[in-house]
């Protein structure tokens, strides 16, 4: 089987220099070049692959039991003729709190700018991409699925295709049921300050830890507020557990299901909108996908929507489906 | 130890005759008379004890491992001098869907009328109660704790004292995290119609069943709507899981934490407001209690608030505390 | 529907006087007399109904949501003609550690003697039973199912029929998977001494508590040893968790699946051997039942064996099946 | 920080050629060379690092949130002076059923020979190792921890030091509690044949899958039997769940806690015996470690034993401790 090439680029981000969490602004970003790239002169479509919360692009190269790393998957799909040769880019938007949701937040950093402006330009400069929106896709899983929706809706001039696996949407069912867990967990870790400061080194990283982390990391992304402690507002009162409606409303401004009308022209312009989710999704994201595509349907926008019998984790095999959908939707 | 007497009354309810669920309107209602009642002529305060969801008054007589049935508990507390002799009334507001929340609902029945009008009058007529609000308390657990709050707020002329154990309040944390479970469970049981019709006989009554039942029973209580199937509105779209905001708003009109201002004079007039909840409450009701008492505190209303290290179930030992609080707060 | 009568007898046990746990030797034992008993002179078969761990006979009278207490169930089955009129006896073999397994143990008490000698004689003396083994059955659930197997195997001259719901058997799958939970739980409760002394009053009685309690109570029943602390041997080393093979062997001497050959004549003489268990049994007791009936089958002994789709708890509806089987197997 | 070099060797195994599962006999095996190796001429101790079940050496290079891949960890430990420069070898003993336990099994393959004979020779031939037992260690986690114990006990002439993190031992608590889960799971997957044939592709790989897989893979390793279906014996009867005592006894011949006396001289000869386990280990392996070291202590054999507050997974940070112990125990 012809094998593509993986080049792990070291990229210095201006957008992330001086980011508030003190995270690195120099990242290792794998780029997959399809078989034939090295010896030929053709130009290729490019797909930005966004990982989920606690992930970064280099993890897409990880070896996994009974499964393929992303480059091997791509080699196989290309060899089978299922997918056309494409370049894959694997950004690193990991942070010390687990991620960034691929958006700009004064509490986390300018990760949206980093991806949309810096990485796109870098790749188009350095590699033989077909540098237009019709040949540039964004695909992701979980928070990465979220990221791709947000990025494609907000930057239709950049991305012409998007595919989301189990993407974060409909926060009412996706995040809200976990608020109680976060309220309960915070005191176990000595309160927000202590937890926040010790995220990387806390052991064990047990269920309580993740209950709390998920919510506070999302708060840092969705409800930043420079004067607040650590630069963001929690969506609940840590003493009583009461929802802060005003903060929650700010979260909802980032919920894809409520952004359809705002970005209706962007959505209509996309060559591909692909969404799927597992019927056992631990974060109820199959409902978010259903609601999102219902909105699209009501507005006459085309999409591909699939459900499958699995949960939220270890579902990278779904890329077989999304990469094919992307490949099929890209014009020759 | 002197023992009180339990008389299980058979009471025919006019309020419940023809109730929409076809539930019995003739109930067995235990009445506990304290030691000395049978031989003396004194009048006694009266406490209405409301059971939780899936409960009814006769279950308070159930034998339990390592614990006392309610009459034995009361005998002991009276013998110890902790609690003054009082009459206890144990209403039956169970229905084929598990309960009624002690409110009037066109989908379930007039259970609020039944308790507040019929049972109070029955007991005052038949037994030597001190028939005024200062000597009439309502206490309950879980949905019964909910019931007591609602009844005391809405009928301050009837009840002058209230005590709630792990009462349903702050539906945002108490019910909402279970909506997803209900959305998931409905299809497993063949949809709402089939589940609704077979509630009493479904086996096994497993977690999925209770996930669905809890929400649909609350919907029948809080969001009745005669033209809808089965006479009520679900708070979510069963296909997509999307919250029906308008229906949810009708639920919130029954949420005690939002009713404080509406019933502020009633609350202020109460001789006792007692709330507790366990720190491991499976339905997050410790937060509801915190929010409720915070509202009271901000408005200068007195209350007793306790938390304890236990969950939502098997906490009848907490009656030792609430009965004492009631006893202490009743004027001589 | 004609209703039977329940008489709650107060029975003073000589066998239990001075029992090592200091438990009461005066018990309240409900006796159900079928419709017609009070006005007629007929004699009736008698069924001893043994409750599970943490249960006692009076709990069979408890009111339960969507279900019948035992007397109501019996009234219905008799009215339907499914079951012939029979007397039911509901022993109390509860102890401060949750139960007794209905056997004699120097660490717990002479509960086997109590049931087989005292209660049988008491009932035959006082009530119009048909006082022979062919008209005397023992039925039970869980530990009670265990009890009935043990009692019927060991006392075939007393009991001629037996029915077991989810009875404890094949300890290898029924108890052993919980040993690790007990090893873990002991230190949480301050060690065996402290836990043992505080069993009745420990709060909360959470999963850890039951993990530990189940094993230590069974140890008190199956591996008593007067010189040991509290009069019994744990089946594991509390420091290392290592199984004490010699103690475990003593447990296995009480495991019904290993007692078939020893009591082969007793089993062969029974008019009815009925076993069932749920396919979701939390203690794997469906496998115990399968192994037991496989042994019977290999030895040419008749039995009725059923499995059903439910777990270990709230399965009293299965009495409909076992009572019919008993009724059918009793000679006219 | 000086960085070592990772060379991913491609190694063709004669021992594994024609292995019964049809797994590859050509493996990719990472070798870590410490900083200075490439430019100097010194010889170094060598550590074989064995991964757990479902793992293989290349996964030790995986990128992980909030943690280091093994080479980065080693670079840091060497830079700090905590650990001396050492060569690390990361074998691949993964199979289509998840692993091999690093032993020879007619049902799985000659993985013990592969590691002990082939890989040791390969590394000593190709790299500047100090090629004696005093400078050759084996360390592992979980099944890899098991592997290191087995290999060190059985091949003391090859390995002079061993360190085990949460190693499989005391199968009574480590595997047996999961037998019931396997018995339950098999029918869900259509029985052993179907499950066995579809292991790599089954989706979802949920808890039931892993319950079944863990037991059948261990059976293939510990109780191979060429005439049996798939070449091994299950330790239970799949119909009744009954333990096959004879098969289980064959498992126990591979249980380290029962092998101490057999390999007492080997153990006594080791320069280092290090064991640890987490107090929340999901497979109860802290008890296995306690039992093992108790055996050592009773026989006067030195060891290092630690426990820590974490579970079985994501504990690679414990290598900081074991690598230091190895480094300290190697003679200059």
Q: Check pLDDT > 90 for residue C144.
A: no
Residue B244 vs residues B236, C96, C145, D17: alpha-carbon distances, Å: 5, 50, 48, 62
User: For residue range B80-105, what is the model confidence (pLDDT) as tens digits?
Assistant: 999 999 999 999 999 999 999 999 99
Beta-carbon separation of B54 and C65 below 8 A? yes
Strand partners, C44: C129
Structure tokens at B244: 């029906």
Beta-carbon separation of D291 and C242 below 8 A? yes
The predicted pLDDT at position C155 comes to 96
pLDDT grade for C14, boundaries at 50, 70 and 90: very high
DSSP element (H, E) containing A162:
strand A161-165
Beta-carbon separation of C63 and B65 below 8 A? no
Contact D76, D1 (CB under 8 A): yes
Which residues touch B173 (CB under 8 Å, ≥6 apart)? Answer: A179, A180, A183, A241, A243, B284, B287, B288
Helix axes C179-188, C207-222, angle to 10 degrees: 110
Which residues of B fall within a CB distance of 8 Å from C52? none
Beta-carbon separation of D172 and C287 below 8 A? no
Q: What DSSP line would sit under D37-80, residue for residue?
A: TTT----B-EEEEE--TT--GGGGG--BTTB--HHHHHHHHHHT
Task: Name which of C183, C242, C284 is nearest D241 (Cβ-Cβ).
Answer: C284
On whether any CB of chain C is under 8 Å from the CB of B8, the answer is no
Alpha-carbon gap, residue D23 to D94, rounded angstroms: 9
Beta-carbon separation of C55 and B64 below 8 A? no
Among positive and negative, which fits the CA dihedral C156, C162, C167, C169? positive
The predicted pLDDT at position A197 comes to 97
Provide mean pLDDT across the span C113-117.
97
The distance of D223 to chain C (nearest Cα, Å) reads 20
Structure tokens at D94: 């993964």
Q: Check pLDDT > 90 for residue B203.
A: yes
Optimal mutation site among C96, C203, C210, interface B, most CBs of chain B within 10 A: C203
Q: Check pLDDT > 90 for residue B327.
A: yes
Structure tokens at B161: 């004292």
The predicted pLDDT at position B153 comes to 92
Which residues of D fall within a CB distance of 8 Å from C176? 176-177
User: For residue range A155-204, what is the model confidence (pLDDT) as tens digits?
Assistant: 999 999 999 999 999 999 999 999 999 999 999 999 999 999 999 999 99
The predicted pLDDT at position A281 comes to 96
Counting as contact any 3 or more CB pairs under 8 A, the partners of B are A, C
- Find the closest chain D residue to C290 by CA distance: D240
Q: What are phi and psi of D10, to 5 degrees?
A: -105, 115
* D153 burial type by CB count under 10 A (0-12 exposed, 13-18 middle, 19+ buried): buried
The predicted pLDDT at position C148 comes to 85
Helix axes A207-222, A179-188, angle to 10 degrees: 110
- Find the closest chain D residue to A279 by CA distance: D204
Beta-carbon separation of A278 and D66 below 8 A? no
On whether any CB of chain A is under 8 Å from the CB of D10, the answer is no
On whether any CB of chain C is under 8 Å from the CB of D307, the answer is no
Counting as contact any 3 or more CB pairs under 8 A, the partners of D are A, C
Provide mean pLDDT across the span A272-299.
97
Beta-carbon separation of A294 and B240 below 8 A? yes
**Length reported for chain C:** 332
On whether any CB of chain B is under 8 Å from the CB of A238, the answer is no
Among positive and negative, which fits the CA dihedral C330, C315, B92, B1? positive
On whether any CB of chain A is under 8 Å from the CB of B307, the answer is no
Could you report the predicted ipTM of this complex, rounded to two decimals?
A: 0.95
On whether any CB of chain A is under 8 Å from the CB of D98, the answer is yes
Which residues of C fall within a CB distance of 8 Å from D174? none
Side by side, which strands form the sheet with B87-89? B5-12, B26-33, B87-89, B46-50, B136-141, B161-165, B272-278, B304-308
pLDDT grade for A143, boundaries at 50, 70 and 90: confident
Alpha-carbon gap, residue A287 to B184, rounded angstroms: 10
3-state secondary structure labels for all residues of A86-122:
CEEECCCCCCCCCCCCCCEECCCEEHHHHHHHHHHHH
pLDDT grade for A28, boundaries at 50, 70 and 90: very high
**Cis peptide leading into residue B263 (ω within 30°):** no
Query: What residue spans of chain D are helical by DSSP H?
Result: 70-79, 111-113, 120-126, 143-154, 171-174, 179-188, 192-198, 207-222, 245-252, 264-269, 285-298, 319-329
Alpha-carbon gap, residue C27 to C13, rounded angstroms: 8
Strand partners, A139: A49, A163
Return the closest-CA partner of residue B25 out of B9, B39, B10.
Answer: B10
On whether any CB of chain D is under 8 Å from the CB of A252, the answer is no
Burial call C101-116: b when 16+ CB within 10 Å, e when fewer = bbbbbebbbbbbbbbb
Contact A120, A87 (CB under 8 A): no
Return the closest-CA partner of residue A92 out of A32, A122, A50.
Answer: A50
pLDDT grade for B144, boundaries at 50, 70 and 90: confident
Provide mean pLDDT across the span B142-148.
87
Optimal mutation site among B27, B55, B204, interface C, most CBs of chain C within 10 A: B204
Residue A84 vs residues A75, A88, A145, A275: alpha-carbon distances, Å: 10, 12, 22, 20
Provide mean pLDDT across the span D136-158.
92
Q: What are phi and psi of B277, to 5 degrees?
A: -170, 155
pLDDT grade for D147, boundaries at 50, 70 and 90: confident
On whether any CB of chain D is under 8 Å from the CB of A144, the answer is no
Contact A152, A163 (CB under 8 A): no
Which residues of C fall within a CB distance of 8 Å from B310? 203-204
Q: What's the whole-model pTM score?
A: 0.96
User: For residue range A40-54, what is the model confidence (pLDDT) as tens digits?
Assistant: 999 999 999 999 999
**Measured over all CA atoms, what is the biggest interatomic distance in chain C, rounded to whole angstroms?**
64
The distance of C54 to chain D (nearest Cα, Å) reads 24
Beta-carbon separation of C63 and B58 below 8 A? yes
DSSP element (H, E) containing C173:
helix C171-174
Provide mean pLDDT across the span A122-133.
98
Beta-carbon separation of B177 and A177 below 8 A? yes
Which residues touch B200 (CB under 8 Å, ≥6 apart)? Answer: B96, C66
**A243: which DSSP letter?**
B
On whether any CB of chain D is under 8 Å from the CB of C321, the answer is no
On whether any CB of chain D is under 8 Å from the CB of A203, the answer is yes
Query: What residue spans of chain B are helical by DSSP H?
Result: 70-79, 111-113, 120-126, 143-154, 171-174, 179-188, 192-198, 207-222, 245-252, 264-269, 285-298, 319-329
Which residues of C fall within a CB distance of 8 Å from D284? 180, 183, 241
Among positive and negative, which fits the CA dihedral A240, A242, A246, A251? positive
Which residues of B fall within a CB distance of 8 Å from A179? 173, 177
Task: Name which of B59, B65, B205 is nearest C94 (Cβ-Cβ).
Answer: B65
Q: What DSSP line would sit under C87-129, residue for residue?
A: EEE------TTS--TTSEETTTEEHHHIIIIIIHHHHHHHS-B
Alpha-carbon gap, residue A37 to A35, rounded angstroms: 6
Helix axes A191-198, A179-188, angle to 10 degrees: 90
Contact A229, A219 (CB under 8 A): no
Query: What residue spans of A127-167 are helical by DSSP H?
Result: 143-154
Strand partners, D28: D10
On whether any CB of chain D is under 8 Å from the CB of A205, the answer is yes
Task: Name which of D54, D66, D201 is nearest A65 (Cβ-Cβ).
Answer: D54
Alpha-carbon gap, residue C179 to D305, rounded angstroms: 23
Average pLDDT across chain C, whole number: 97
Q: What are phi and psi of D109, to 5 degrees?
A: 145, 170
Structure tokens at B78: 């009276």
- Find the closest chain C residue to D238 by CA distance: C287
Alpha-carbon gap, residue A287 to B182, rounded angstroms: 12
Contact A185, A206 (CB under 8 A): no
**B232: which DSSP letter?**
B
On whether any CB of chain B is under 8 Å from the CB of A25, the answer is no
The predicted pLDDT at position D332 comes to 85
Contact A36, A197 (CB under 8 A): no
Q: What DSSP line would sit under D214-257, residue for residue?
A: HHHHHHHHHSB-TTSGGGB--SB-TTT--B-HHHHHHHHTT-GG
């Amino acid at each position: 089987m012809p094998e593509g090439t993986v080049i792990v680029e070291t990229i210095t981000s201006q957008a992330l220099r001086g980011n508030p969490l003190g995270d690195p602004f120099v990242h290792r970003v794998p780029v997959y070049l399809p078989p034939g790239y090295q010896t030929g002169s053709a130009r290729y479509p490019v797909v930005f692959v966004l990982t989920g919360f606690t992930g970064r692009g280099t993890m897409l190269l990880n070896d996994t039991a009974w499964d393929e790393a992303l480059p091997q998957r791509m080699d196989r799909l290309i060899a089978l003729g299922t997918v056309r040769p494409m370049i894959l880019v694997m950004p690193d938007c990991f942070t010390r709190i687990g991620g960034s949701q691929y958006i700009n937040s004064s509490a986390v950093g300018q990760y949206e700018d980093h991806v949309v402006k810096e990485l796109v330009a870098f790749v188009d400069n350095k590699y033989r991409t077909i540098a237009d929106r019709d040949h540039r896709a964004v695909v992701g899983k979980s928070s990465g699925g979220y990221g791709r929706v947000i990025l494609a809706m907000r930057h239709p001039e950049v991305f012409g295709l998007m595919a989301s696996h189990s993407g974060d949407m409909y926060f009412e069912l996706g995040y809200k049921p976990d608020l109680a867990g976060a309220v309960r967990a915070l005191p176990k870790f000595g309160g927000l300050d202590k937890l926040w400061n010790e995220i990387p080194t806390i052991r064990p990283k047990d269920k309580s830890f993740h209950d709390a982390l998920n919510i506070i990391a999302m708060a840092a992304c969705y409800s930043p507020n420079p004067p607040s402690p650590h630069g963001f507002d929690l969506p609940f009162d840590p003493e009583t557990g009461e929802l802060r409606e005003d903060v929650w409303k700010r979260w909802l401004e980032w919920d894809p299901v409520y952004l359809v009308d705002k970005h209706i022209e962007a959505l209509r312009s996309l060559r591909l909108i692909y969404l799927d989710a597992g019927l056992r999704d631990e974060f109820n994201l199959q409902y978010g996908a259903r609601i999102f595509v219902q909105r699209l349907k009501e507005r006459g926008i085309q999409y591909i929507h699939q459900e499958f019998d699995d949960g939220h984790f270890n579902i990278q095999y779904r890329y077989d489906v999304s990469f094919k959908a992307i490949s099929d939707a890209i014009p020759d």
